[in-house]
Amino acid sequence: GDGVPAAQKSSWTAFVKSIASVSGDLSSLTAPPFILSPVSLTEYPSYWCEHPGLFAKIADAKDDESRALAVLNWFISTLKGQYTSRNESMGSEKKPLNPVLGELFYGFWADKDGRGKTSLLVEQVSHHPPITAYVIENQSKGLRLVGHNAQKTSFSAGSIIVKQIGHAVLTYTPPTGTPVEYLLTFPRLRIDGIWYGSPYIELAETSYVSGGGFVSTVDYKGKGYFSGKSHSFKATVAPVMGTGVGEARYTIEGTWHTTSKITKSSGKVAAKGDEFHNVESGAYGKKEEVSVGDVATMEDFETRKLWGAVAKGIKTGDFDTASKEKSTIENDQRQRRKDEQAAGKTWPLKHFKLVENHPTCTSSLLFVFFVVLRVCFVFRVRVNASGLECAYTRLVLLFISRPHTLVPVPITDAIFLFADERLG
Residues that bind ligand 0T9 (CB under 6 A): 26-27, 31, 35, 44, 47, 82-83, 93-96, 149, 151, 160, 162, 164, 189, 191, 199
Distance (Å, rounded) from C-alpha 183 to C-alpha 187? Answer: 13
Question: Cβ closer to ligand 0T9: 233 or 370?
Answer: 233
Q: CB of 367: closest distance to ligand 0T9 in angstroms?
A: 28
Residues 293, 106: contact at Cβ < 8 Å?
Answer: yes
Question: Cβ closer to ligand 0T9: 65 or 202?
Answer: 202
Q: CB of 10: closest distance to ligand 0T9 in angstroms?
A: 16
- Name the residue among 59, 55, 79 with its Cα closest to residue 67: 59
Strands 36-40 and 95-97: parallel
13: left (phi over 0), alpha (psi -120 to 50) or beta: alpha
Q: CB of 341: closest distance to ligand 0T9 in angstroms?
A: 27
- Name the residue among 56, 74, 54, 71 with its Cα closest to residue 180: 71
Question: Cβ closer to ligand 0T9: 50 or 65?
Answer: 50
Question: Cβ closer to ligand 0T9: 30 or 297?
Answer: 30
Question: Cβ closer to ligand 0T9: 93 or 202?
Answer: 93
Q: Which residue is nearest to ligand 0T9 (CB)?
A: 95
Query: 375-411 burial string, b = 16+ CB within 10 Å, else e?
Result: ebbeeeeeeeeeebbbebbbbbbbeebebbeebbbbe
Q: What is the DSSP letter of 91?
A: S
Question: Cβ closer to ligand 0T9: 50 or 181?
Answer: 50
Q: CB of 196: closest distance to ligand 0T9 in angstroms?
A: 12
Q: CB of 16: closest distance to ligand 0T9 in angstroms?
A: 8
Distance (Å, rounded) from C-alpha 325 to C-alpha 311? Answer: 9
Q: CB of 413: closest distance to ligand 0T9 in angstroms?
A: 24
Q: CB of 15: closest distance to ligand 0T9 in angstroms?
A: 7
- Name the residue among 8, 393, 421 with its Cα closest to residue 197: 8
CA dihedral 78, 79, 82, 85 (to 10 degrees): -100
Question: Cβ closer to ligand 0T9: 121 or 373?
Answer: 121
